[in-house]
Amino acid sequence: MVKPKKILFSLITLCCLINISCREDASGLVKNTSQKLFVMSELIPGEQVSVEVSSTIPLLNDYEYLDIDENTIVNVSSSEGVYPLKYSHKGELSHTAVFTREEGMNIFPGELYTVSVTPPYEDVNAVDAITKIPPEPKFEFINIVNFDEEKNQDNPKLRLYTYNVQLDVERDSEDLDATRFYHIIPLLREVTIDLGAPVIGTYTNNFYNHVDYYFSTGQKACFELKDMYGFLVDADDLEEDEFITATFTAEEEIDIRENEHKFLHFLLYSVTEEYYSYHKAISNAISANSYNSEEVVLDRSNVRNGRGLVSGMNVRLDSTSIR
């Protein structure tokens, strides 16, 4: 799960930095034109602790991005203690710095974590954010109802598959610590080749190139993400006996033959309310073809004195057989 998570994290960071940290809004809502730190981090049990740090650029001032390097102090703390992170490398964007903790720190569900960043600049505020790690998510069930295949007239190796999937997530309205918010990604297609003998090989592709989602049941609880893969779910918006039926399309390079068995893999993330609100707002703005950082995202950031999002998450990989 490390590689898919890195891809997902890069997508989140790219979108948010391009839309927010590159410039502040010029509508007159921005009162403070000084630069602020922009912090993105997802804390997930079993995965490396990583924090990305950049800076904003006020639109009406002649600023450059702050030089974020090893002189910046980044800590992650919990009831277990304070854990310094080390400067690791530049991120997808050259002005973004990545800080990591290689070992000696574990992330636990139910625990509160504080990420703090102190820059080596007297006129730039230090920032911090608090998040709680949700419990491990769980699918109640995943069923492939059907899928259709459409050949690509220009490329005989490509097929456009339309999947119709029924699924449900674990929910407990009486448990205050139960997961309410989810991010679901139909992730991998895997084919095992069976020639009447033991399996002789596997093939797993990268992220699907999804084309929209349609929800025939559970649509009130589901929200398609325009800036990332997959869709968000607010389990409180599902009726007691209601489950989700999602239809989506994916372009693939391999067809199913008689001697192949096909599986569809899903990444299920339990996420915080801040994560849900933040990325839903971004997707709404993208759909509306407008973006006002002050109105859309800044009031949803949990980074005190700065910008961005620090979110606790938990993840599970599940799969179901197509054939």
Of the chain, the percentage scoring pLDDT greater than 90 comes to 49
Of the chain, the percentage scoring pLDDT greater than 70 comes to 74
How many C-alpha atoms does 183 have within 13 Å on its Cβ side? 28
Domain borders along the chain are 2-134+272-314, 139-270
Average pLDDT over residues 64-72: 93
Tokens representing 241? 């006996």
CA distance 281 to 30: 19
Closest among 61, 73, 115, 55 to 307, alpha carbons compared? 55
pLDDT of res. 201:
46
pLDDT at 81 over 90: yes
pLDDT of res. 88:
96
CB neighbourhood size of 189 (10 A): 22
The angle subtended at Cα 245 by Cα 189 and Cα 137, nearest 5°, is 70
pLDDT of res. 251:
75
CA distance 191 to 193: 6
- The larger pLDDT score, comparing residue 227 to residue 2, is at 227
Strands 37-43, 307-321: pairing is parallel
Tokens representing 299? 């009031």
pLDDT of res. 206:
45
Average pLDDT over residues 186-207: 57
**pLDDT, tens digit, for every residue of 16-46?**
444 444 444 433 333 344 789 999 999 999 9
What's the pLDDT band for 190 if we cut at 50, 70, 90?
low
**pLDDT, tens digit, for every residue of 114-136?**
999 999 999 999 999 999 999 99
**pLDDT, tens digit, for every residue of 239-290?**
989 999 999 887 776 555 555 667 788 899 999 999 999 999 988 888 888 6
Compute φ and ψ for 80, nearest 5 degrees: -80, -15
Q: What class has domain 2-134+272-314?
A: mainly beta
- The larger pLDDT score, comparing residue 51 to residue 33, is at 51
**pLDDT, tens digit, for every residue of 144-163?**
898 888 887 887 777 788 88
pLDDT of res. 60:
59
20-24, 99-103, 226-230: least confident range? 20-24
89-103, 165-179, 283-297, 300-314: least confident range? 283-297
Compute φ and ψ for 67, nearest 5 degrees: -85, 100
Can you give the pTM of this predicted structure?
0.82
pLDDT of res. 21:
43
CA distance 314 to 224: 20
